[in-house]
Structure 1
Amino acid sequence: MGRIAGRFTRVEPRRRIRSLVLGLLADLPRKNCWTIAEWAGEATPDGMQHLLNRAKWDADAVRDDLRDYVVEHLHDDQAVLVVDETGDVKKGSHTVGVQRQYTGTAGRIENSQVAVYLVYAGRRGHAAVDRELYIPRSWTDKPDRCRAAGLDPDTAFATKPELATRMITRFLDAGHRSPWVAGDEVYGGNPKLRTALEERGTGYVLAVACNHEVTTRAGKFRADILAKKLPKRAWQKLSAGAGAKGQRFYDWAHIALPDTAPGHHHLMIRRNRTTGELAYYRCYSPQPVPLTTLVRVAGSRWRVEETFQAGKGLAGLDEHQVRRYASWSRWVTLAMLAHAFLAVVRADEHTHQPGPDDLIPLTCNEIARLLIALVAERAHGTAHRLRWSHWRRRHQARSQASHYQRQAAAPA
């Protein structure tokens, strides 16, 4: 909190931002301005809502502080920047960026809001360091709709790979270094993103579809056709890193691809040792690297799923109930900050205070429990609980009456 305090000119928002971030880490059944304000001991949610909506502070500046904080404490010369998107299912049509679209969260097409995140993944831990909201054409083609949600009416449509390029460029332009980028097929299939990374001298291991075409010395082939041509000796059993059930072993092969541009290009293929299922990756490195390095980078992509799971489960990343863009960017930035704090504490504890052999190392979940129980637990009396019960019922009664009035006034 001291690190970002300078972003707030008044003491009141500085104090409230601390309460909000602690509330994001608290063990609340739902995390929004109402529940966090009640937990923090405030009389109404007005102050929290003002902080997210109308208060004067720059969420992008806090994002930059967060990025510096994560890199400083989780620094790794071989860190991987992982790009991926996640969606939040929403109701209605007024929440910024919402439309019917596919989201992996639901596993199907839903009315949802999708954002692209950049995760810093190193040996000491991982945390999100940047975010961009995906604004579909159904919004950018309607300036009035953008204006109503707090977006610039001239907001231009940007694809998810373009948003990823924007965040990676921001990371590198800030003076930070990461030799590798990883991502799924959405990003690996985009030649502009690959070219942008090569121009910056940044290596990548990006998944591509089975029908992705590559040029070899023998001509142009689909990735799955090339895989069938590989001899048995081309495959190596290697681990993509440790998972919940031990090392994740696969069979791997790679094919050098000729290219007029500098650097080294490969098509890498992963084969499941049980099912035989294949996955394909476009790879680039400024200098020659062994297959084990490419496999390690490919395995780092799973860290983004762990980041999403922890960010949503521990820090309320997906529980925002806001409609405007400024409120969304502030909420997710603070949720990212809350999770980053847990990741940094975990990394420091593992390094400086390793536990006994009969205990697993401290997890982010356990650190959050201890923090709230021992440091930040709020105890409020019956009067406070009753006041909030009355406030909620009064607010809901007004909302109900307003809804009935609009319904009655609507044409038959």
Structure 2
Amino acid sequence: MDSMIRFDEYLAHLAAGLGHADREAGLRGYCSGLMLPLARKSVEPMAAHLDPLHASARHQALHHFVAKAGWSDAEMLRRVARWVLPTMDLSAGGYWLVDDTGFPKKGRHSVGVARQYCGVLGKQDNCQVAVSVSLACEQASLPMAWRLYLPREWAEDAGRRRQAGVPEEVRFTTKPQIALQQLQALLTAGEPHHCVVADAGYGVDSAFRQGLTAMDLPYVVGITSVVRVWPPGQQPLPPKPWSGKGRPPVATRRSPQHRPLSVKELALSLPPDAFTELTWRQGTHAPLSGRFAAVRVRHAGSASAKQRLHPLQWLLIEWPLAQAEPTRYWLSTLAEDTPLPERVRIAHLRWRIERDYQDLKQDLGLGHYEGRGWRGFHHHASLSIAAYGFLLGQRLRRTGRPRKKNLMGGPVPALPADYRPRGRPAHTAACGGLNHDTASSTGCLPDA
């Protein structure tokens, strides 16, 4: 089927969830603009290239559609998924990939912007951060849920909330809590109980892991080297004997002679033959491989909290041969009989969500939205994911999987010679003839 015919069908499928028929034109224009080969995919340049002779009117229409119109982001993503998932081969299993991504941003008025860790920059800086959950298989992955992380300073600032249009029900929620809410919403909507894969930013949060278990979701999550566990064959001391008064004690105990180890200490204590060289997938230039070991452990929890006996789970350790110590660790509730190569393969599936972010940002303008409001931020992201979903579905339907990502294969409409971006004067004022003495005699005070 011709791509444009399928694109029309796709847009009709999405438009059915917009609430009003007159929003279909905005959907078509915005998704088409996101797939144009433009350097910048904010509203203004997209409008100018979509309709060069009526750029101002098209700009207003697209801006209203993305920043003001009251359609549902959740419904948009649900419809994208219903279109794309039939093209994904989930027969061998699916996986929920949890992650977040940052957007460097200046100023303080754009919703959620704050000085926080930005993965794109690799440091603390002014940025916005959004949490997402993607559904992945061996072939591809697709974002299924998306939400801005609202830092505490924003969540507790009524003035900034009001100006940015933050919904009343949105309160301060940590990133792991947002991810749990997203997963719960997906399960409530009828999605399967796939294994969850996440990095150490989520895996070190014991409440996040417990929340996954409570939802009957197995997981493979990264942790840091300082997380403490009980080594194989060991567990905490039983609770103190009951004195006969009050409630029977349930908290487990430890002592200076009987204590848990950090996962790094445990890894360093393992014999060399505990590690196996494994290849988990074919990379761009060469197979990706490493040395891995896996042992059954119990998470130790905090020494200061009242602890119960945690169930056994897998500790997966990666120790490259050229390194002096292990580099990565994961905890996993996969079945005890899961083969080591399978655990390693699943642990490294996070590369797919990084690829999602790369394509969405570089090719589909995910980080190009210039508005400040909550609704516009989420609408723009949902439309970027919608454009990505169509192109992903097209690639999966084709046997050759062409590398070209942009739908619009023809030339981009040229801008009129007299076109000027908003905010730029039509003609630059000449400064040589200004009479500064005359200007100062008006009695106006300089700006303070």
TM range (shorter): 0.7 to 0.9
Quickly say closer, same or farther: Cα 1:225–1:395, change in 2 above 3 A.
Answer: farther
Q: Give secondary structure in 2 for the equivalent of 1:84.
A: strand
What is the CA distance between 1:82 and its match in structure 2? 1.1
Offset from partner CA, 1:208-267 (integer Å, 9 cap, x none)? 000011123335110000001111221111123222222210111011125888975111
Paired position in structure 1 for 2:42 = 32
Q: Tell me whether 1:43 sits opposite 2:52 in the alignment.
A: no
Which residue of the other structure, out of 197, 200, 204, is the alignment partner of 1:182? 197
- Residue 420 of structure 2 aligns with an amino acid whose one-letter code is S
How far apart, in 2, do the equivalents of 1:319 and 1:20 lie?
Answer: 13
* Structure 2 contact 420–426 (Cα < 8 Å) conserved: no
Displacement of 1:191 after TM fit?
Answer: 1.1
Asked whether 1:255 is paired with 2:295, we answer: yes
- What displacement does 1:10 show? 4.1
Q: Which residue type is aligned with residue 250 of structure 1?
A: G
Q: How many residues align structurally?
A: 384
Counterpart CA distance in 2 for 1:153 and 1:171 is: 22
* 2:434 aligned residue: none
In structure 1, give the amino acid aligned to 2:417: L
Instruction: Give, in whole Å, the separation in 2 of the partners of 1:67 and 1:171.
Output: 11
Residue 31 (structure 1) shift: 0.7
Are 2:393 and 1:379 aligned? no
Q: 2:318 aligns with which of 259, 270, 288?
A: 270
Deviation of residue 410 (structure 1)?
9.6
Tell whether 2:98 aligns with 1:103: no
Kindly indicate which of the two structures has a greater share of residues assigned to helix. Answer: 1
Contact 1:99 1:113 in 2 (8 A): yes
Matched residue SS, 2:41:
coil
Residue among 401, 420, 424 paired with 1:389 = 420
Residue 86, structure 1, aligned to residue 96, structure 2: no
Q: Could you tell me which residue of structure 2 aligns to residue 72 of structure 1?
A: 86
Could you say which residue in structure 2 is the equivalent of 1:316? 365
Distance 2:392 2:131 in 1: 20
Change (3 A) 1:409 1:43: farther
Please give the secondary structure, in 2, of the residue aligned with 1:124.
coil
Deviation, 1:147, is: 1.4
1:195 aligned partner: 210
Q: Return the alpha-carbon distance in structure 1 between the equivalents of residues 426 and 370 of structure 2.
A: 16
Contact 1:161 1:190 in 2 (8 A): yes
What amino acid is aligned across from residue 282 of structure 2 in structure 1? A
Q: Structure 2 unaligned segments of length 5 or more: list them.
A: 1-10, 235-258, 300-307, 429-443
**Alignment TM-score, normalising by the size of structure 2:** 0.80
Counterparts of 1:234-245 in structure 2 under 5 Å? 234-245=274-285
Counterparts in 2 of 1:327 and 1:252: CA distance versus 1, 3 Å: same
Equivalent AA in structure 2 for residue 59 of structure 1 = D
Aligned partner of 2:132: which letter?
Y
Match of 1:305 among 343, 351, 354: 354
- Three-state SS of the structure 2 residue aligned to 1:373 is coil
Asked whether the equivalents of residues 293 and 316 of structure 2 are also in contact (C-alpha less than 8 Å), the reply is yes
Given that residues 141 and 356 in structure 2 are in contact (C-alpha distance below 8 angstroms), is that contact kept between their aligned partners in structure 1? yes
SS at match of 1:225: helix
| 1:396 Cα deviation after fit | 11
Normalization by structure 1: what TM-score?
A: 0.87
- CA distances 1:182-218 after superposition (whole Å, capped 9, x unpaired): 1111110011111121122221110100001112333
Query: Using a 3 Å threshold, how does the CA distance of structure 1 residues 348 and 251 change in structure 2: closer, same or farther?
Result: same
The alpha-carbon deviation at position 132 of structure 1 amounts to 1.2
Aligned residue for 1:386, secondary structure, equals coil
Aligned partner letter, 1:224: K
RMSD over equivalenced CA pairs, Å: 2.4
| C-alpha separation in 1, matches of 2:405 and 2:120 | 26
| Aligned residue identity for 1:13 | R
Classify the secondary structure of the residue corresponding to 1:301. helix
Q: 1:395 to 1:136 in 2, by over 3 A?
A: farther
1:71 Cα deviation from its structure 2 partner: 2.9
- What's the secondary structure of 2:16's corresponding residue? helix
Task: Determine which structure has the larger strand proportion and give its number.
Answer: 1
1:329 aligned to 2:329? no
Decide which structure has the larger Cα Rg and report it.
Answer: 2
Spell out structure 1 runs of 4+ moving beyond 4 A.
258-264, 394-397, 408-411
Q: Give percent identity, aligned residues only.
A: 24
Tell me which amino acid in the other structure corresponds to 1:379: P
Uncovered stretches (5+) of structure 1, i.e. residues with no partner: 355-360, 398-407
> What are the superposed Cα offsets for residues 112-148 of structure 1, whole Å, 9 maximum, x if unpaired?
1111111222112112121110100111111221111
How far is the alpha carbon of 1:9 from its aligned partner?
4.3
